[in-house]
Structure 1
């Protein structure tokens, strides 16, 4: 495991879940400090979406929350490799969310930012938060 304490990054793990594609969808994420302490979380019900779009919404929502918290050093972990690629090849972003994505790329360009692909086992908390959105069908943090 990488030592986040060295670089003073805030760790954000995100996940999106859809029941079918298209189907009812939610996204969730958890924020940890550089000492692995809990900072915050979110879950959002997204109504009916395509599965790949839901993963992007989760990442966008995490960046929105980080911006609201004033975080300037982010390390985002997600289980969808296309999101990681979208930060280098911007055409990988689905057209339906490209405008919203570009808004947060402006913020991303002003902070220290890292993104990495992690396996499903590494985002168990984010997965649980996302699934809570199915139960409550509202946004919370």
Structure 2
């Protein structure tokens, strides 16, 4: 599975993104670990106002305290919560269709199987990023 996040400022401008490949097959662990890492990275970069959007509802519920943290990630979640306590923090759910950049990063991560951080936008994200930023629709087609 691939851990990934895109960081934007309050105007929707690109601030950075990462994709990391982990050989973890449990989707809850992967999604929660990606969210925890995003908060910790933001904290380490000095970004103190965070709005985390996640397309995995269970992760949103964990951050909101209505679901329990898997024990395997409880120590990391404690570190994350320490960071959150010194931030303005909000977490919300986003439907997967509204997150096409994440799909592109996931594809990159699975293919490359490396850890990657971008300070400037990679060309493979450009079209999806600007489509999303300009509130243009995103369609998914499937051949039957």
Give the TM-score normalised by structure 2: 0.76
State the Cα distance separating 1:108 from its structure 2 match: 0.5
Unpaired runs of 5+ in structure 1?
1-24
**8 A contact 1:26–1:44 mirrored in 2:** yes
RMSD: 1.4
Runs of 4+ aligned residues of structure 1 deviating over 4 Å after TM superposition are: none
Match of 2:57? Answer: 81
Superposed CA deviations along residues 83-123 of structure 1, whole A, max 9, x for unmatched, are 11112327521111111111110000110000000100111
CA distance in 2, matches of 1:71, 1:93: 24
The 3-state SS of whatever aligns with 1:54 is helix
The 3-state SS of whatever aligns with 2:114 is coil
Match of 2:123? Answer: none
Aligned pair partner of 1:97 in 60, 66, 73? 73
Match of 1:133? Answer: 109
The 3-state SS of whatever aligns with 1:49 is coil
Aligned pair partner of 2:7 in 12, 17, 31? 31
Question: Alignment length, in residue pairs?
Answer: 117
**8 A contact 1:29–1:130 mirrored in 2:** no
The 3-state SS of whatever aligns with 1:114 is strand
Matched, 1:118 2:80: no
**8 A contact 1:76–1:115 mirrored in 2:** yes
Superposed CA deviations along residues 23-76 of structure 1, whole A, max 9, x for unmatched, are xx1111111111111100000111133111111011012112212221000000
**8 A contact 2:58–2:67 mirrored in 1:** no
